[in-house]
Chains A and B, each alone.
Chain A
């Protein structure tokens, strides 16, 4: 019997999914390898941690809101908040993901030569974005349903209704994000440049994320005060309640949760219908943006004799290597936005939280300040500096990012130790900025003395040195040298996940230890300072012996 070939649309969908969800389960024969088991265990642990983290944030918000509203009999507004939050999150993520998919439009342009309609092209792309983003929305709804279910004991019908509506809810935000992006992309040739798009996506994403952070912070502030929550709800000032009035999916879901099957059907029809309409209406302009995407323009003009002396100048090899590292990272938007930019982003998020919940934060710091004495006065600013200094992922992806040029680099007369040293210098250069912002900022916030600030700076320098050397050693010994795009080299690199989790664990651990053990104020400065210095020496030794040898053996 001959197998019927799948439809062109199904084939397209399959290839998109395979390209995005490139998860390979270990083969049965590999399961005896401890490395494979450890790796699988690590990924499962990360997935659990991330889910638990999200679950905790939204779970606490839902519980707080339920308790605040239950006395008024308005606890179902907690579900409305979850519906709005889930829709907003899906819209934000879908918008950013759709933008980022445009940056790989050159690969998608190949499909234009195949017998696929523009509607199919856009529909397949939208389905892929749905598969990526819907789980986030679904998780938020599931947490809310769980909290509501435990407290109110609704019947089975409630869970069935919420399941169907949770699946339908992401469709409208997804359709809207494409209905906005496609006309913007077709409007300007300038926007279709990969760099412009990536930077724009990063900034739009940042603004949207900050806006959402502001929403969450203000919501958390409101639910901590049930009386205020009730007052705001009755006066119509609660932001999510207002959104529901003009967001039909939220209104329909609320009706559905009251048991209306027609509302559930309406939600599904609205989501699917709008998505289909967007795919149909915007399919053609979408395919045109793909055709014209990625045009980049050379800067015309010769280097004149007057410029020659300043441009063609012999510089030390080491300085040339460090400059190369900085330029390649800072000019690749994907690397820059997820790397050095984080040093600026985190303080901006903090500043925004101050704006949103300024009084609460100041009050909290004032209330906590009497407890933040002794060694914590220098350890907290040191920890903040260490965190910012390692948040750039420069060290833990240093060789992975160079995978495409590793053969060429190794054919040049560059000593492997110089290559390693240049990568470490690059990381430490930005670590210095992180330490300056984190440690000095923390010291100012706590009103530290000059002496404590100096100790915090010294500890941060040693700690950041240790963490960056450790991260670089990790990527020198186990680099990720096979990848398709820069996202894989940086964001999907296990080394960056290991480095960031280790950093957070270590910083949390040393501060928690110092906070629980009573000792003289500067004992921990000496202990940690010595430990960090010894670790720096040992990691330096590892990096410049085994690490350097491994550079010689590195093969993608």
Chain B
């Protein structure tokens, strides 16, 4: 379980308040989507959540472990797929995976089978000996997916994971996310692709201008929109089949922000 309580972040250089008093609880066993337009604060939130940057205020805990008090133990509880796949391009793919596995203390006996299984699943077994720099963007993303799962983390955090993946790999990823949640793990991912969020999220949060403007499931999002429309007396009701994209755009517009 991941808990963020009242976290805020202002970038010193630009003075921009990227995240403002954000609170979220991501329970075990769910796929939790994190949506928002460009510059809304998604990546900043994920960076604070993973200890890459420090929150100005508030607390973050992973499986009950306070990130600021016990950062190493908290970091061992999650696997991260970063937004940029261009990491350590001068290493060979297996060297990169070995480095991550060493850092997470994955035993020699488990390591080979985990890596080979995941590489087969994401179809990059053939290029594990290649330099990361020789791989396409999609392949690098797959490599990062494998690296994030090499220590079988309880919590899986993914920043825009679908970008660059071919349909087959995207399907494999979605399947893996379902399996992870079904096994009691937490999946927290950010995305711009509303259809993806719509199809696989159990719950979602929408962030705009650093603030959470919605948390709940798709049903709750539809109800919210309906009630808002009723308040302004439009008389229109939200369609059962109305897409998440339309609901998302409405909500962001109501909050006075730009749409993605």
Residues of A within 8 A of B (CB): 296-303, 308-309, 311-317, 320, 323-324, 327-328, 331-332, 404-408, 410-415, 552-553, 555
Contacts and interface: CB of A to CB of B under 8 A. Distances in A.
B24 to A, nearest CB: 18
A553 B100 CA distance: 22
B90 A317 contact: no
B88 interface: yes
B103 A314 contact: no
A412 B100 contact: yes
Interface in B84-135: 84, 86-88, 90-92, 94-95, 98-108, 111-112, 115-116, 125-131, 133-135
B90 A413 contact: no
A314 B100 CA distance: 10
B75 to A, nearest CB: 4
Interface residues of B, number: 49
Contact of B91 (A297, A308, A328): A328
Contact of A314 (B53, B94, B111, B125): B111
B134 A324 contact: no
Contacts, number: 120
Q: Which of A412, A415, A552 has the most CB of B within 10 A?
A: A412
Given A296-B134, A308-B116, A407-B53, A314 B72 contact: no
The 5 nearest A-B residue pairs measured at CB: A320-B102, A411-B50, A298-B130, A331-B90, A413-B75
B87 A405 contact: yes
B80 A308 contact: no
A332 B115 CA distance: 26
B51 interface: yes
Contact of B108 (A312, A405, A552): A312
Contacts of A414: 72, 103
A320 B98 contact: yes
A407 B82 contact: yes
A324 B75 contact: no
A482 to B, nearest CB: 10
19 contacts: A298-B134, A299-B134, A302-B128, A303-B94, A303-B116, A311-B98, A312-B112, A313-B111, A404-B84, A405-B88, A407-B53, A407-B82, A408-B87, A410-B53, A412-B100, A412-B104, A413-B104, A414-B72, A415-B72
Contacts of B76: 413
A410 B134 contact: no
Contact of B99 (A308, A309, A324): A324
A411 B98 contact: no
B54 interface: yes
A106 to B, nearest CB: 12
A324 B51 CA distance: 21
Contacts of B92: 299
B123 to A, nearest CB: 12
Given A299-B92, A314-B108, A320-B102, 13 more contacts: A297-B134, A299-B134, A301-B129, A303-B128, A311-B94, A311-B98, A314-B107, A324-B91, A324-B99, A406-B52, A410-B50, A415-B72, A553-B54
A196 to B, nearest CB: 13
B100 to A, nearest CB: 7
Given A299-B129, A302-B128, A314-B102, A411 B51 contact: yes
B112 A299 contact: no
A308 to B, nearest CB: 4
Given A303-B128, A312-B112, A320-B98, A408 B82 contact: yes
Interface in B16-74: 47, 50-54, 71-73
A300 B105 contact: no
Contacts of B127: 298-300
A414 B76 CA distance: 10
A316 B11 CA distance: 36
Contacts of B11: 555
A296 B115 contact: no
A244 to B, nearest CB: 46
A412 B51 CA distance: 8
B184 to A, nearest CB: 22
B54 A552 contact: yes
A320 B108 contact: no
A412 B75 contact: yes
Contacts of A408: 52, 80, 82, 87
Contacts of A298: 126-127, 130, 134-135, 139
A63 B245 CA distance: 77
B129 A303 contact: yes
Contacts of A314: 101-102, 105-108, 111
A415 B11 CA distance: 24
Contacts of A303: 94, 116, 125, 128-129
A309 B80 CA distance: 26
B98 A302 contact: no
Nearest to A194: B133
Contacts of B111: 312-314
Interface in B118-177: 125-131, 133-135, 139
Given A312-B98, A312-B115, A404 B86 contact: yes
A156 B72 CA distance: 73
Contacts of B51: 410-411
A410 B53 CA distance: 8
Given A308-B116, A315-B102, A317-B103, A301 B90 contact: no
B106 A327 contact: no
Contacts of B73: 413
A313 B54 CA distance: 33
Contacts of B116: 303, 308
A297 B126 CA distance: 12
Contacts of B128: 302-303
A411 B81 CA distance: 10
Contacts of B133: 296
A300 B129 CA distance: 7
Nearest to A319: B102
Contacts of B100: 412
Contacts of B87: 404-405, 408
Given A312-B111, A552-B54, A413 B134 contact: no
Nearest to A330: B90
Contacts of B139: 298
B52 A324 contact: no
A300 B54 contact: no
Contacts of A312: 94, 98, 101, 108, 111-112, 115
Contacts of B90: 327-328, 331-332
A341 to B, nearest CB: 15
